[in-house]
Structure formats: structure tokens, C-alpha cells
Amino acid sequence: MRAYRGRKYEEREWVARQYGAPSPVHVKRSVLLRIGIPDAVWVETGTFKGDTAAFLANQSRKVYTIEPDNTLFAQAEKRFLGDPRIQVIRGLSEEVFPSLLSTLNGTVNFWLDGHFSGGTTHQGPSDCPIREELASIEDNLDRYDEVVILIDDIRCFDPSVPEYADYPDLNFLVDWTRKNKLHWHVEHDIFVAKSGRDPAIRATGQISRMTSGVAAEKK
């Protein structure tokens, strides 16, 4: 009942913002489910309370979730104790990625949501370690048959705003995807980069304008 009330509150706030970012949690999870590669490994940064890791575990063969905050890590470790589908890793994503990603192969989905967002979320040396995370992914791309990378809170990727000074801008993300020959688009405040032919192209013959108002590069 509490979860239902929380969802309805999120939806009312979203409507009041005229559907502006951020989208409700259940909407973002629908994006993960629709765009993520089925039965692939998921790597999540920013475990928080573990709700997204639990959701992803029902859609995949394995979830690695990384949490640097000691209290949140302990809570998540206790929650998922005995669940072989979920491995909770304590540490900074930029420090964990080099060793973890080199052990993975096949198809891999990434949910990058480990940037500092206030409250009880962890504030590390950088508020947004996305540059280091993407560098580690790039170092291991040849190991993966197919990859999907989803980056949350794309509205924050504007370093001209003082509170987001540690974030790269959208151009950095676009340049990175182009360099690595990935398709990209933005929807529901999520930056999506993926290998293979984009389903939006398969369906329409061109990449359509997404709900965020940011259009993907035409091929």
C-alpha cells in the first residue's frame, strides 16, 4: 500500500510538472526493461536501498550492484543475503569497474546511477564519476558481444550549473558513443547508448525524436 501511494504521488508530481524530468521510478524501470538486453548481466552503480537491483534480478541472469556508502551497503548486503542472482559490491564505481568489468563477457547492460544526488546518497571524490566509468567500459568493449549503457539524470549533465560542475556535458556522452560506434538517444531523463542497430531505426527507418526533446543522430 505504501509503495502504491508513493507511485501515485510521483505520478501526480510528474503531471504537475507537465511531464518534465525526472520521470517516475516505474517509468524509468520500464525503459530499463524495454531497452536492456534480455537475460544479460546487469551492472548497476548506486545500489541505494536495492529496489532497482531487485527489479533487475527478475529480468536477468545476474546483477552486480556497487554501493560506496557503508550503511547503504550493509543494508543491501543483508537484504540480498542468500540470493545468488545479486552480488552487492562495496566501493567507488571508478575503483571497482577495472577489476569487475574484465571478468565479464557476452551481453552486458549498465545502469549508471552512482552520481551524488544529495540526501543519504554517497558523495565521493567526484560528484559524477561517469568519465571514469565510461573509460573502463571502453577498455572492455571488445570482451562483450553486445552492450547497452543507460545513464540516469541526464538533465544534470550541465556543468555550467554550479551544483553540477563535476558532471560532463551531453556533448561528452555523444562524442564517446560516436567514438565507440554506438547508437544513442535520450528518453525519460536517461541517456541510452547501445551496440547493434537501434530498434527506433528498425521500426521507422530513422531515429525519432524522444520524449525528452533530444533527438538522436541521424545515420
- SS3 per-residue string spanning 113-167: CCCCCCCCCCCCCCCCCHHHHHHHHHHHHHHEEEEEEEECCHHHCCCCCHHHCCC
Q: How many folded domains does the chain comprise? A: 1
Please give the average pLDDT of every successive group of 10 residues along the chain, which has 219 residues. Answer: 60 63 81 95 96 95 95 96 97 96 97 74 77 98 97 94 93 97 95 76 36 36
pLDDT at position 199, please? Answer: 47
pLDDT at position 6, please? Answer: 62
pLDDT at position 196, please? Answer: 77
- What is the domain-level CATH number for residue 188? 3.40.50.150
Range of the domain at 115: 18-204
Q: Is residue 129 part of a domain?
A: yes
Residue in the structure block whose three cell numbers are 565507440: 180
| Predicted TM-score of the model (pTM) | 0.85
Spatial separation of the C-alpha atoms in residues 30 and 54, rounded to whole Å: 14
pLDDT at position 121, please? Answer: 63
Identify the three-state secondary structure at position 60.
Answer: coil
pLDDT at position 217, please? Answer: 40
pLDDT at position 127, please? Answer: 82
Q: Is residue 213 part of a domain?
A: no
Q: Is residue 168 part of a domain?
A: yes
Q: Is residue 6 part of a domain?
A: no
175 Cβ neighbours under 8 A, 6+ residues apart: none
